[in-house]
Structure 1
Amino acid sequence: MSRLTGLRWVAVDVCGAAVLVIASAEDRNETDLWGPYATVMVASLLLARHRPLLALVLSVAGTALLHLPESTGVDPLDLAVPVALFALAAAERPRRVGAIACGLLLAGIGVASLARPVVRADVLQPPDTHAVAIRVEKPTGRVVVETVEPAWPDRLWESSGLMLALAAAYLLGDNLRGRRLHLRTLERRAADLEREQRQRVALATAAERARITRELHDVVAHGLSVMVVQAQGAAAALKRHPDRTEHALRDIVTTGRSSLAEMRRLLAIVSQEPELAPQPGVQALPELIDRIRAAGTTVTFTVEGEPAPLPAGVDLSAYRIAQEALTNTLKHAGPGAGAAVRLGFHAESLEIEVSDDGRPPAGPADMTGNGLRGIAERVRLLDGELETGAGDGGGFRVLARLPLRPVST
């Protein structure tokens, strides 16, 4: 496509040069210089698009070749000079090149107009200038015709049309160059914005994947931990307390169905077909604690302060933090361990504390696992504070403070 477009422009240049040659040939003077002049001017027209500086030099040289030896009128091929100047001003080169060339041309025309020589003739013939002086030499009686050159302001005025044409050609070319540069700047800026948008989408996608992964871990880990504990209790009570076994199996079914429903909701988000269901919050904590109790773990639940509506992010994070902390209790506290959940409402923050009286940690809290790492990430995203480690009475303790004010950026 670009090659075809280039051939079209070449055809346009050739046709334009041919039209000017025909128009110039019709009005040309009887001079031997017209052939070389036309050749140079046609070459400059054909080179103007790709070699504007060379084209301008050739066109100026051809014009000087024809017009300096004798005073002649403007030739149609002289249009090659403003065409080449226009192409030079519009070219992608330093702007000063076109400005210097235009200045030199205007100065050269002015100097040529002021330095035009006086022409003498010994015969009476129509002169090319505006005024003549006729005198008779007394000794010989010979009639002498002299051309009278106008004053220098008149000479400059005669050249003003040509100078204005060249100045207009330069200004038009420079304006075209400026528009091209502006358009290129806009295109580059649009490309940068598009690239930045793609990066934002990629970051948002990665963050959403991390969030969904964290949600899946919380749901699956908690549900499976509860089901494992309940299954162990059911197996232990199968012979001695069949009624308890039936109750434990029923709880296993309920927990499994709830976990599957939550997984389907999260997977629907990934497949872009979300099921519109409310997210769990602190109001769902009693139900969560009941499931843990049904698994055989003693859990106490305390609410301090006056409950108040919470921001959606804080509400969901509080639930997930308590859920993950209780899951860790089921997995690591050992048999017979109890847990305590405290929810503290304050004016500027919400406290979630989950502690157990099971086996104390052997060392510092391991933040490499998905559980505590997910809790830490939730707290960090909300600009909150997190404390983990051994409790005052043994066991393990998780304390998270979530601010209720907007997160600082």
Structure 2
Amino acid sequence: MSRYSPRHLLTDATLALALILLTLGPGLVKGWVTPTKPGDPSTYLDRSGLPAGEPWWIFAALIVGGVLIRQRWPFTGLVLAAAGTVGHLALQTKFQLLDLALPLMLYTVATVARRRRHSVAVLALAMLMTYAAMLGGRFHVDQETAVWSGKEVEQQQLKQEAAGGEPVATVMRKTLDPPSVFAPDRLLDAGQAVMEMWLLLIAAFAIGDAMRSRRAHLAAVEQRTADLAREERQRAALAVAAERTRITRELHDVVAHGMSVMVVQAQGAAAALDRHPDRAATALQHVIEVGRSSLAEMRRLIAAGRTDPAEDPQLAPLAGVGAVPALVDELRSTGMRVELHVDGVPTAMPAAVDVSAYRIVQEALTNTLRHAGPGAGATVLLEFHPERLRVVVADDGTGPAEGADDGGNGLRGIAERIAMLGGTLDAGSAGGAGFRVCATLPLRAGESLVPR
């Protein structure tokens, strides 16, 4: 067994000592308290009735050795205890308290056996060995009794012959011959004598097997609990990662748009500072307003990642499709040509679709402002259908530079939003000049427009 320690050895040694004291203690006390008569040649061991033959002590030593290694090597200990118990049965044809080590060892084996059929096989073998030992021991005792009785009959015959009586040796010897070892009466008698040990062995096996089953069940429950805890930690980590990704995407959209508008307004203010101070003041005022609104939205996003928005009434809701006209007006104030077209009747839509549609328009117009070149204009189209919303943003600028990477974080964020909602995205050059972003978003929860 694993996790064996000196404490286990001390426990087993105490158990072995207790079995020895319970077995030999009554005889020792009897020899001590029995009075001796003058001239009595009997010794203390004779009065105590302790076994005097060496075989009995050898078998007892085997049992004690098996108990001492019970928890370290349970199967080896069972073999030693079985050998000692079988030897005692063959010598004395009766059980002693020391022989209770055999059921104890069977209990230990049943608790550590990996499979139940192994411990069942050990139980059957132990029952068979104890029965065979009891049967052999009783046959040996009957043989010795028959021999002793035969000697007495022979002495009586000699006395009768000396007195002139008739010989009766033939009849008497027939009556004193012991029955065969496999006689039905002898087999039944041995079974009745060994029944007590069998019941102890079966009870020890049942308790040990129940303990093994309970340990296996507890181990399975602990493993399941550990697996659930690990899965819960993984889900929490994935949720945190997803939330961080969402906040990062939102911050990118806010910062990219706000900084782009502020840069354009600042450039216009610098150009008009000398000739048109009033225009410069207006542009600077727009820079202040855009900077303040961007900072407020950044604070809202960061706070939303740490607190519940319902607990803070100062947090404004996320912008949706209804805020697209204000976004267009804001970009027009920078001098950018932007046209807005709305087809269909706006209807109620899921919050995720509403926010994503606004962010797609914002990111596409921000890219136009940054990459389309001077004097470029853009057209925004919102098509409302009963089952989907189509968002198209196209510009007439020069488009990305030759060999430039047009798959930046902005387009990647748009693609992630649309994929998460089950929509489709088409982004690329618009007829050789400019750039076009076309996104189609489903308006029904759980619906996907991506073919599977």
Aligned to 1:60: 82
Alignment of 1:249-264 (within 5 A): 249-264=284-299
Compute the TM-score of the two structures, normalised by the length of structure 1: 0.87
Aligned to 1:172: 207
Aligned to 1:139: 167
2:282 maps to which of 238, 244, 247: 247
1:228 maps to which of 259, 263, 266: 263
> Is the counterpart of residue 216 in structure 1 residue 251 in structure 2?
yes
CA offset at residue 122 of structure 1?
6.3
1:98 maps to which of 105, 112, 119: 119
Distance 1:311 1:408, change over 3 A: closer
1:313 maps to which of 352, 376, 382: 352
Q: What SS does the corresponding residue of 2:275 show, helix, strand or coil? A: coil
Q: Quick check: 2:425–2:438 contact (8 Å CA) kept in 1?
A: yes
CA offset at residue 367 of structure 1?
4.5
Q: CA separation in 1, counterparts of 2:352 and 2:102? A: 72
CA offset at residue 191 of structure 1?
2.4
Q: What SS does the corresponding residue of 2:283 show, helix, strand or coil? A: helix
Q: CA separation in 2, counterparts of 1:18 and 1:188? A: 39
Q: CA separation in 1, counterparts of 2:415 and 2:327? A: 21
The one-letter code of the counterpart of 2:302 is L
Q: Quick check: 1:386–1:400 contact (8 Å CA) kept in 2?
A: yes
Cα offsets for 1:363-399 (capped at 9, x unmatched): 6994431111111111111111111122259422111
Q: CA separation in 1, counterparts of 2:228 and 2:194? A: 51
Aligned to 1:299: 338
Cα offsets for 1:276-324 (capped at 9, x unmatched): 4311111111221111111111222222111111111111111110100
> Is the counterpart of residue 159 in structure 1 residue 201 in structure 2?
no
Alignment of 1:327-346 (within 5 A): 327-346=366-385
Cα offsets for 1:17-51 (capped at 9, x unmatched): 22211110025643324433332222211111111
- When structure 1 is superposed on structure 2, of 105-114 and 213-222 the one drifting more is 105-114
Q: CA separation in 1, counterparts of 2:394 and 2:442? A: 21
Q: CA separation in 1, counterparts of 2:286 and 2:349? A: 30
The one-letter code of the counterpart of 1:40 is L
The one-letter code of the counterpart of 2:444 is R
Distance 1:265 1:143, change over 3 A: same
Q: CA separation in 2, counterparts of 1:21 and 1:354? A: 96
Distance 1:11 1:101, change over 3 A: same
Q: What SS does the corresponding residue of 1:295 show, helix, strand or coil? A: coil
Alignment of 1:6-405 (within 5 A): 6-25=5-24, 26-27=26-27, 29-32=50-53, 33-71=55-93, 73-114=94-135, 116-117=138-139, 118-119=142-143, 120-121=145-146, 139=167, 150-271=185-306, 276-361=315-400, 366-392=405-431, 394-405=433-444
Q: Quick check: 2:262–2:287 contact (8 Å CA) kept in 1?
A: yes
Distance 1:333 1:75, change over 3 A: same
The one-letter code of the counterpart of 2:225 is A
How many residues get paired? 395
Q: What SS does the corresponding residue of 1:277 show, helix, strand or coil? A: coil
Compute the TM-score of the two structures, normalised by the length of structure 2: 0.79
Q: CA separation in 2, counterparts of 1:30 and 1:279? A: 96
Q: What SS does the corresponding residue of 2:223 show, helix, strand or coil? A: helix
Q: What SS does the corresponding residue of 1:238 show, helix, strand or coil? A: coil
Q: Quick check: 1:365–1:389 contact (8 Å CA) kept in 2?
A: no
The one-letter code of the counterpart of 2:95 is V
Aligned to 2:37: none
The one-letter code of the counterpart of 1:97 is H
Supply the RMSD in Å over aligned alpha carbons. 2.9
Q: Quick check: 1:303–1:343 contact (8 Å CA) kept in 2?
A: yes
Aligned to 1:130: none
Distance 1:110 1:49, change over 3 A: same
